Structure 1
Amino acid sequence: MPAGSVAVIVPEDIKVPSWDLYEVSIPCTVFGQPQLDLADPWYSLRLCGTAERPPEGRSGPAGPSLTVRTGYGLDGLIGADTIIVPSVPDSCVEDGVPLRPELVAALRRAHAAGARMVSLCTGAFALAEAGLLDGRRATAHWMHTAQLAERYPKVQVDDSVLYVDEDDVLTSAGLTAGLDLCLHLVRRDLGAHVANQLARRMVVPAHRPGGQAQFIDLSVPATDDDSLSPVLEWARAHLDRPLTVEELAQRVAMSPRTFYRRLRAATGMTPLQWLLTQRLARARSLLESTDLPITKVGELSGLGTANNLRHHFLKQLGVSPGDYRRAFPTR
C-alpha cells in the first residue's frame, strides 16, 4: 500500500515519567516527520484524543501528567488507512477498569471500514476488547501477556516475539519493540530500502534478531514449598556440575518420584525444565556482565559446549549467544 494516513490514539493524559510517552512518540517520529527524499508523498499523521475535552496537565497523588493537544477526537479515525493504539491506561490493564465504550466502538468501526489496526504494548488490550484479536496470534509486553491471555482467552497470545503481523491487525511488545513494528510497517508499505535508510537516520537496527523471549526475566519461580528451598539454592550454586534428579532428591531425603512431584507442584516445571531455566539464566547473566569466551560461559552455566549453548539459546530465546551479548554490552 502507499504511505497513506496514520491516526494515533493518544490517552487523555500521560503521566510523567511514563513509558506511555515514549510509545506515543514512536509513531510520531516514524510517520510524522516527512522523509520526502525517501518517499514522496510521505505519511500524513493525525493525533486523536479519547476525551471530549482534553484535560489540563496536572499533578496529583499519581504523579505529574501532561496533556497532548491532539487536534482530533475519535472522529479523526474515520478515513485513516492505519490506526495505532500505543497504550491504554494502567488501570485498564492492572485493575480491569473498562475502556471507554466510545473508543472500543470506534476501533470496531474503523476496522470494518478497512483500516489497518496496530497496537503497541498494552494497546493490544484495546484491540482485544474490540474483538479484533479473536482467533488471531498477538503479543504485548511480556510483563502483561499473562493478563492479556487470561482476560481474552480467544486471543492466541505469544510472549516470545517482538511483534506479530496478521496482515490487517498487527501487535507489538513494549517500548522499543513498537519501533521495530513501525519500521516493519514502513518496510511493508514503501520497501526495504526506505525502511533501512530511515532506520539509519534514527540510529537503530533496521531489524533486530530474536524476539522478546531474550528479555523475559528467568529468575526463580515463586514457590510455597519451603522444604525445597535449600536444595534449589544448592543447585543454583552448582550449575557448573552435572546434576541429576536422584542427587537433588537425596539431598532433601525424598524419593526421585516425590521430588519430581513436589517441584512440579511448586514451580510448574519438571526438574529438568527447572535446571535448564536456571542454566539459561546463569548463561545470560554471564553474557551480560562479563567478557568470558562463549565456551567458558557454557561450562560455568552447565550447558556444556559452545554449540550446545547456542542450540539452547536459539531454541529458548530465538537468538544466538553472540547476538544476545551484543544486545547487552558490558559496562
Structure 2
Amino acid sequence: MRITILALDGLFDTGLTAMLDAFTLANKFSSGSIRFDLSIVGLRRRVRTGQGLLIPTQPVSPDLKPEWVIVPALNTGRPEPLIAALQRRDVIQAQAQLRKWRGGGAQIAASCIGTFLLAEAGLLDHREATTTWWLAPLFRQRYPNVRLDESRMLVPTDVGVTAGAALGHLDLALWLIRKTSPELAALVSRYLLADIRSSQAPYIIPNHLAQADPLILRFERWARDHLREGFSLQKAAGALATSARTLQRRCEAVLGKSPLSYFQDLRVERAQSLLHGSGLDLDAIAAEVGYVDGATLRTLLRERLGRGVRELRANLR
C-alpha cells in the first residue's frame, strides 16, 4: 500500500509519530510479505511541527501516485487559531492538492483536526464523517453539508476515512493495516497496547461542547441542577426564557442532537462519576440521575458507551 502523509507547518507531533510507529512496526512484523510504502510530502522542503521540530519532506511531484493520502492534525486545539490556520496559504494549497489526488483516484484520510482540511476542501460534502469531539460544534456550523457524528471513532466512506480526536491517528493507522491484514493489525496493536476503538462517546465532556453557545451553556447548567427530575422541554425552555422550538433548534445546530439526548448525556456523565467514587449501588445511582431503577440506567449506559456497569467500574479503578 502506497501511503502519502501530507505534512503542514504546525502539525500535531503525536499524531504523526503514532502513525509512523504503527506502520513501521507493521512492515517489521510482516517480513516483507506486506509492505506499507510511506512518504512524507510537503508544500515546503521542510515543515516545523507544533513542538518546533523540523521534518524534511518530499516535494509534491506529478509522478507521485498515492493509494492513500493521510492528513495529520494541526496542533490548534481551539476554534480561533484553527480558523486562522485554515486561511493560511499553504493550507489552501494543500486543499487543492487533496482534490487533485482524489480526482486521480486516491483515497483520502484524516484524523482529529485534519478532518477540517478535508471538509474545507469539499471532500466530505453529503457524506458521513467524524472529527475531534470538542470542536464538533464548530465543524457542524462551518460544514453544514457534512453528516457529522462525533461519537464515532472511525467513519469510512467512498472518499476514504475520517477518525476522531488526538490518538485517533493510531486508530486510523491500525484500521488501514487491518484492511490489508487483520492478523498483522492485531499483532501491531498488542505491541502498542492499543486497539481500534469504535466510539469516542466515553471521552466526550458535555460541558466542553456547551461552551460553544451561550444558550446551550445555560441549558447545560440548568440540566445539571435538574438531573433527578423527569425531563420536560417546555419546563427547560421556560426556565431559560426562550421557546421550546428555539431550544430544540439550537441544540440540533450546535450539538447535533435534541435537548433530551443532551440531557441524557449529562445523566450518563454523572452516573459514570458516581460509579467511580460514590460507593452507591446501581439503584441509588439511578435515583440520583432521575431513573426509577438501575435496569433503565444500565440500558442507557450500554447504549451510549457500549459498556456494561461491571466493565465501567473495572475501567475506572
2:237–2:243 CA contact under 8 A, matched in 1: no
SS at structure 1 position matched to 2:28: coil
Q: Quote the Cα distance in structure 2 between the aligned partners of 1:92 and 1:126.
A: 14
1:284 matches 2:286: no
Which of 192, 195, 202 is the equivalent residue of 1:202?
A: 192
Report what 1:87 is aligned to.
73
Which of 56, 70, 73 is the equivalent residue of 2:59?
A: 73
1:218–1:322: structure 2 CA closer, same or farther, 3 Å change rule?
Answer: farther
1:274–1:170: structure 2 CA closer, same or farther, 3 Å change rule?
Answer: closer
- Post-superposition offset of 1:224: 6.3
- Written as runs of structure 1 = structure 2, the 5 A alignment for 1:88-167 is 88=74, 90=76, 93-95=82-84, 96-98=86-88, 100=90, 101-167=92-158
Q: Quote the Cα distance in structure 1 between the aligned partners of 2:259 and 2:100.
A: 50
1:38–1:307: structure 2 CA closer, same or farther, 3 Å change rule?
Answer: farther
Q: Quote the Cα distance in structure 2 between the aligned partners of 1:201 and 1:160.
A: 27
What TM-score, normalized by structure 1, do the two folds share? 0.75
- Post-superposition offset of 1:316: 3.6
Structure 1, unpaired ranges of 5+: 15-19, 58-62, 250-255
- Post-superposition offset of 1:126: 1.4
2:10–2:75 CA contact under 8 A, matched in 1: no
Residues matched between the structures, number? 298
What is the root-mean-square deviation in Å for CA atoms of aligned residues?
Answer: 3.6
SS at structure 1 position matched to 2:4: strand
Which of 200, 206, 211 is the equivalent residue of 1:212?
A: 200
Greater Rg by CA: 1
Q: Quote the Cα distance in structure 1 between the aligned partners of 2:75 and 2:237.
A: 46
- Post-superposition offset of 1:273: 5.6
- Post-superposition offset of 1:293: 4.4
Q: Quote the Cα distance in structure 1 between the aligned partners of 2:112 and 2:179.
A: 20
1:29 matches 2:21: yes
Structure 2, unpaired ranges of 5+: 252-257
What whole-Å deviation, never above 9, does each CA across 1:278-311 have from its counterpart, x for those lacking one? 4222112223445654444323333343321122
Which residue identity is paired with 2:83?
A: E
1:309–1:87: structure 2 CA closer, same or farther, 3 Å change rule?
Answer: same
Report what 2:289 is aligned to.
301
Which of 40, 43, 64 is the equivalent residue of 2:36?
A: 43
1:279–1:67: structure 2 CA closer, same or farther, 3 Å change rule?
Answer: same
Q: Quote the Cα distance in structure 1 between the aligned partners of 2:41 and 2:231.
A: 58
1:162–1:173 CA contact under 8 A, matched in 2: yes
Q: Quote the Cα distance in structure 1 between the aligned partners of 2:259 and 2:184.
A: 49
Q: Quote the Cα distance in structure 2 between the aligned partners of 1:137 and 1:11.
A: 25
Structure with more helix by fraction: 2
Q: Quote the Cα distance in structure 2 between the aligned partners of 1:97 and 1:26.
A: 27
Report what 1:6 is aligned to.
3
Q: Quote the Cα distance in structure 2 between the aligned partners of 1:299 and 1:266.
A: 26
**Which 4+ stretches in 1 moved above 6 angstroms?**
222-225
SS at structure 2 position matched to 1:7: strand
Q: Quote the Cα distance in structure 1 between the aligned partners of 2:63 and 2:24.
A: 16
SS at structure 1 position matched to 2:151: coil
1:6–1:31 CA contact under 8 A, matched in 2: no
Which residue identity is paired with 1:68?
A: I
Report what 1:17 is aligned to.
none
